[in-house]
Amino acid sequence: MSQPRPGGAKAPRDAQLASEIYRKHADALRRFALRGYCSREEADDVVQETVLKVWKAAPVITGSLHGYLFATARHVIIDGHRRATARIRTDLLGDADPAAARSADGTLQVLDRLLIQQALMRLSAEHRLVVLHLHFFGSTVAQAAHDLHIPEGTVKSREYYALRNLRGILAGMGEEP
């Protein structure tokens, strides 16, 4: 069954496809939403909205469905927090509230942190340790080499390949590195 899309393109709108996406990915999406500081009810809404958006976009998805799902879920969560912040700002606090803006920025930082954390977990242990030492702990190449008991050249090489792999992982998750 096809329905017309804007611009004249036809897209299959098979309800079975939506059911299959939901069945295969709902639990993982729900866990992701719950880690993004959503309540159980909000997480269920995020899952439903994500599946609906992905189902509507199914004919034009490029790359990994898994990555597209999680990128879409992340955007749904962010949009929900922005709507809530906008309501708080206009309904209760007037037009300008620095505290509400800081809490919205904090939410985005948490979501970005979760995305990076998931991407780092997909790296090999050797690459992950080098990235953590150099980019999170603030170690120099010499300090990382000493702490990890490997030569400095190995640290540099692992960093290069780790960052290259991380860019690919993030792109597969639907994020621009």
For residue 2, being part of any structural domain is answered with no
**How much is the pTM?**
0.45
* 39 touches 53 (CB < 8 A): no
* 160 touches 152 (CB < 8 A): no
**Are 60 and 29 in a shared domain?**
yes
Q: Report pLDDT for 172.
A: 79
| Nearest Cα to Cα of residue 154 among 169, 142, 137 | 142
For residue 62, being part of any structural domain is answered with yes
| Nearest Cα to Cα of residue 52 among 75, 4, 5, 19 | 19
Q: What is the pLDDT of residues 60-73, one digit of tens each?
A: 777 778 888 888 88
- Domain with 152, as residue range(s), is 122-177
**Are 89 and 113 in a shared domain?**
yes
Q: Report pLDDT for 68.
A: 85
**Are 92 and 134 in a shared domain?**
no
Q: Report pLDDT for 86.
A: 57
**Is residue 76 pLDDT above 90, yes or no?**
no
**Are 87 and 146 in a shared domain?**
no
